[in-house]
Amino acid sequence: MRLAVRPILERLERRQKTPFYTSLHSNCDPELHLREAAGWLTRAQEAGTDRGVAYGADFGQDFLPSYPETTGYVICTFLDLANHYGESDYRRRAVQMGEWESDIQMGSGAVMGGMYNTNPTPSVFNTGMVLLGWAALLRETGSERFRISGKRAANWLL
């Protein structure tokens, strides 16, 4: 019975979300698309109050809570954007993200799995993704804070 209902629910959802899609366009300018993607990531960070980047968003609704895993590698993306465009705001945002990650790092050194929550469970994959961000920030800023957070994460992984 469940298998028969699934296609019906998928069609209903597609019909409900159709207004959120635009028609195909002919503008394939990579610079425009890079700016738009960077803008979306910026809004995903601004949507919350904690300096992390949102897990995502459902069509037509607000952004979801911050997600440590993706925030970790968005740090690297924002540092690359800062260098590409020469815009220090991306760097500032990356540093804020790294500081937030340090603030919520678990006592064990691990990074929590799932969206930000007050009852965290450790995650190997998420810790690795955030470790990439801290390593990039350490190279960029030389900040001892990011070295310590990264060392704690690496020790936990080992």
Express each pLDDT in 81-123 by its tens digit: 999 999 999 999 999 999 999 999 999 999 999 999 889 999 9
Domain 28-157, classified CATH 2.60.34.10, yes or no: no
Distance CA 92, CA 73 (A): 15
Residue 56 corresponds to which tokens in the numbers above? 């995502």
Mode of pairing for the β-strands spanning 111-112 and 122-123:
antiparallel
Q: What mean pLDDT is reported for the chain?
A: 91
**How distant, in Å, are the alpha carbons of 36, 57, 74, 119, 134 from that of 67?**
21, 12, 11, 14, 15
Contact 121, 79 (CB under 8 A): no
**Reported confidence tier of residue 1, pLDDT bands at 50, 70, 90:** very low
Q: pLDDT per residue over 40-83, tens digit each?
A: 999 999 998 899 999 988 877 899 999 999 999 999 999 999 99
Domain ranges of the chain: 28-157
Q: pLDDT per residue over 14-34, tens digit each?
A: 788 777 666 767 778 889 989
